[in-house]
Amino acid sequence: MNDHHVAWKDRLGLNRIWEQSIIRCLNSYGTPGFIDDVNLFHTLIINIKDGPQLRKIIDDYYNNNIMIWINNGVEEWKQKNKAESSMPELVNRTRKEFKNFYYPYFLSFIMQTLEDNGFGFYHSKIEEDEIM
């Protein structure tokens, strides 16, 4: 019999930590700390043994979407701003502006992925877990 069962990670309190991270990200939206808060939240996501590979799903989205959008935006900016593109501090500022633009989408994706996967639950055979 398959059913939803609390994952071992919940025993570590990750559901609570993820909830606190979401709240921290939402509260820091529009502030200089937003990017760091989203990055921290991202690092707290794990793959679930015998369950959803949350970290892999989120890393794939980050690498194949968010980073590509940011890098393309920076490259386009460099093409339009040849003189400024030789100044690392301006390139870094521009990269941060693109992160500020795209990271809300990344945060939404992380939250949606957790929601779609039961936010701390996975399918398991209850009788196997009861043996422990």
Over the stretch 12-71, which tens digit does the pLDDT of each residue have?
678 888 999 999 999 999 999 999 999 999 999 988 877 789 999 999 999 999 999 999
In this prediction, residue 126 carries a pLDDT of 47
What the block records as the tokens of 68 is 């590509």
Could you tell me which residue, 47 or 106, shows the higher pLDDT?
106
Q: Which amino acid is at 106?
A: F
Domain ranges of the chain: 2-131
Q: Which of 42, 24, 38 is nearest to 96 (CA)?
A: 38
Whether residue 4 has pLDDT greater than 60: no
Give 69-119 as a DSSP string: HHHHHHHHHHHH-TTGGG-HHHHHHHHHHHHHHHHHHHHHHHHHHHHHTTS
In this prediction, residue 13 carries a pLDDT of 75
Identify the band that residue 3 occupies on the pLDDT scale cut at 50, 70 and 90: low
**What region does 120 belong to: left with phi over 0, alpha with psi -120 to 50, or beta?**
left
